[in-house]
Every structure is written in structure tokens, then in C-alpha cells.
Structure 1
Amino acid sequence: MINKLRFGAAGAAIAAALGMASVANAADNADATATAEVLSALTLEVAAGTTLDFGSMVVSGAGTVALAADGTLTCTDPDVICSGTTSVPTFNISGGTINKAVTVTLPTGTVNLLRSGGALANASDVIVLGGFVDDTTAGEVTLDGAGAGSFDVGGTITFDGSEVPGVYSGTFNVSVAYS
């Protein structure tokens, strides 16, 4: 009887080992590929001599003046009369990876243009600039074969009617990043 138990226990151990071997033989593995693309750093500069210039205005009340990215001026409020030469800034991208898409980010809020010699605390010394627009396709520029591209930017200024004569100026930030 002891022999039968030994053979029985040994048989069970062998059967269990064979069963585990079957499970182990059913396992498999696979290799996956990992990639990383290194892109050239972008440089963004405003072309020399280009600015967002709305020209000259006579302001006798509230109103807005819009300058599109293509340089088209819209001055239709009866309390604002526009004249003079206008221009839009051209932003040049360089040093990028060829044929890659780049997303342009314009300011989403407003920027205060301050009258030269004025104070931000005085409403009559401030013109609000906002409504920024560009001439890109859906906010993107595709870099050329040299890793370069460019775009123009426009915006809208708003008058409250209290502005005093003078030259108003300020800065705004534009950025680019690979899409």
C-alpha cells in the first residue's frame, strides 16, 4: 500500500509538471519599436522695419479700428476718422526642421497702448489693443525646404472717446511651436 501511495503521489507530481509545462509552452513574447524625433530649435523674429501701425486718427467718441493681417484697414465708426500709412508686422521663422508644421500663438487678451508721457492710471492715456489675427492657415505655418516660414499679424484698437492727442505704443508677444 505504501508503494501504491508513492507511485500515486509521483504520478500526480509528474502530471502537474506536465500541465505546467503546457502552460509555459503556450506563452510568447514580441518586440515593439520605440522612436524619437529630434527637431531643430525654432527662431522667431520680427522683420526689420515692420510694426503694427494703425496710422493716424481723429477721435471724437468711442469706436474701433481694425487692421487685418493683410494690411486692410477697417475704420467705419463715425466718431473715428482714419488717415495715414498703415502696416503690419511680419514674423520670420528660421532654423526649423524642413517641411514641419508650426503652430502660431497670438495673444488671447488685450494689450494697453500707452500715450508717450502718459500714465496707465489715466483712461485718456490708454488705447486697448486686442482681437489679434494672423494670415496663417488655421493657425499653422508649414516650414519650407530651408526650415523657414513667415506670417503677418493684425489687430483691433478700441477707443473710449477720452483719448488725448499723442503717440500711443506698447508691445505684444507672439510665439511658435511645432504642431
Structure 2
Amino acid sequence: MSIKLFAAAAVIALGALSSPAFAQSASTTGTGSITVIRPLTITKNSDLKFGAVVRPTTGSGTAVVSAAGVRSVTGGVAGLASGDTPVAAAFTVAGEGGQSVSITIPATFSMINGSDTLTVTTSNNLTGSAAAQTLSNALGSAGSLAFAVGGSVPVSSTQATGLYTGTFTVSAAYN
């Protein structure tokens, strides 16, 4: 009986080898898409100006221009009405409406007069995180974001007199 069983198994095996194999197949389609948006631009509308100040007679004080453009002085520093009118720096970022952008403003920058240096600590009027700003309007329309940068600068009684100037760079990038 085992020979008959062996013979039957051999016949089945030979039949399986000689018959064609049918493989399963499947397919689907994919799609592609792209959203093209406007490039970002950034425009400087005004520079940060502290105006003319008188250094304190002793110790040190501070001159501050808020992001709203209002100057205040402390610690014996006196602000003068003559000279440059105090004003915050103002910038406008333009690009695709409704898009999220990151604004980068340095925390400090230096202003120099010959070999003398003053360090400005910046402030701004951005709401929330500078890394999560949104341009006005909606996708398909031009959008913008205006912001201002103020700052504070310490002035000591031994600070050399003269005009101090310096630059700082603000930038914007799509998130």
C-alpha cells in the first residue's frame, strides 16, 4: 500500500511541476502635486535711532527706544530734543499669503565710534514666537508682515563722546 501511496504522490508532484504557475499581480496609480508660492522679500522702512543723549555725570544709565519708537532714559542719562528723532527700526516681510515664516533678529549688536563700543540689546513687537509668524491674507494672494525693532543701550559717565553707529541683520524664511 505504501508503494501505491508513493506512486500517487509522485504523479501529483509531476503534475504540479508540469502545469503553468499563475502569479498574482496588483497595481494602483499615484498622483503628484506641487504648490508654487511667491519668494520672500524683506524691506527696511526705517533705521533704529536713539537720538542725542547726554551721558550721566557719574555711574551709568540706559537709553531705550521701544519697538513703538518711544525713547526713555534712566540713571542720569538725559535725552535731547536736538539731533535725530528717536525711532524704532521698521521692516516689512512680503511673500505668499497665509504662510508661516520665521523672523530672525539678533539679540544684540555693537555700535562703534573709533575704538569705543556700545552694545545694543534688541527688542521687537512680534506677537508670540519669532519663529512662528504668519503672513497676512491667504494662499494665492500676496501677504505681508510688518514689525519693528527697538533696543536699549547702556551709557556710562566715562563713555567717549561722538556718533556711534552699527548694523544688524534681520532675516525671514518660510517654515
What's the offset of the Cα at 1:156? 1.4
Say which of 143, 168, 172 aligns to 2:136.
143
- Distance in 2 (CA, whole Å) between partners of 1:38 and 1:13 is 62
Counterpart amino acid of residue 103 in structure 1: S
Paired positions, count: 158
Q: Which residue of 1 aligns with 2:123?
A: 133
- Please report the TM-score for the alignment, with normalisation by the length of structure 1: 0.72
Change (3 A) 1:13 1:128: farther
More strand as a share of residues: 2
Say which of 75, 80, 83 aligns to 2:80.
83
Change (3 A) 1:9 1:66: farther
Counterpart amino acid of residue 37 in structure 1: T
Say which of 111, 114, 123 aligns to 1:113.
111
- Distance in 1 (CA, whole Å) between partners of 2:157 and 2:70 is 23
Name the stretch that deviates more: 160-169 or 142-151: 142-151
Change (3 A) 1:8 1:67: same
- Distance in 1 (CA, whole Å) between partners of 2:11 and 2:43 is 82
What's the offset of the Cα at 1:167? 0.7
Q: Percent identity?
A: 28
Q: What secondary structure, in the 3-state scheme, does the structure 1 residue paired with 2:74 have?
A: coil
Q: What secondary structure, in the 3-state scheme, does the structure 2 residue paired with 1:38 have?
A: coil
Deviations 1:97-142 (A, max 9, x none): 122232211103x211011xx12xxxxx211112x22222212242
Q: What secondary structure, in the 3-state scheme, does the structure 2 residue paired with 1:87 have?
A: coil
**What are the ranges of 5 or more consecutive residues in structure 1 without an aligned counterpart?**
16-20, 120-124
Counterpart amino acid of residue 135 in structure 1: N
Equivalent pair of 2:96/2:135 in contact (CA under 8 Å): no
Counterpart amino acid of residue 86 in structure 1: P
Change (3 A) 1:152 1:30: same
1:4 is aligned to 2:5 = yes
**What are the ranges of 5 or more consecutive residues in structure 2 without an aligned counterpart?**
17-21
Q: Which residue of 2 aligns with 1:157?
A: 153
Equivalent pair of 1:68/1:133 in contact (CA under 8 Å): yes
Q: Which residue of 2 aligns with 1:93?
A: 93
Counterpart amino acid of residue 144 in structure 2: A
Equivalent pair of 1:53/1:86 in contact (CA under 8 Å): yes
Equivalent pair of 1:63/1:159 in contact (CA under 8 Å): yes
- Cα RMSD between the aligned structures? 2.9
- Distance in 2 (CA, whole Å) between partners of 1:88 and 1:126 is 20
- Distance in 2 (CA, whole Å) between partners of 1:62 and 1:11 is 103
Equivalent pair of 1:141/1:150 in contact (CA under 8 Å): no
Equivalent pair of 2:92/2:145 in contact (CA under 8 Å): yes
Q: Which residue of 2 aligns with 1:178?
A: 174
Q: Which residue of 2 aligns with 1:18?
A: none
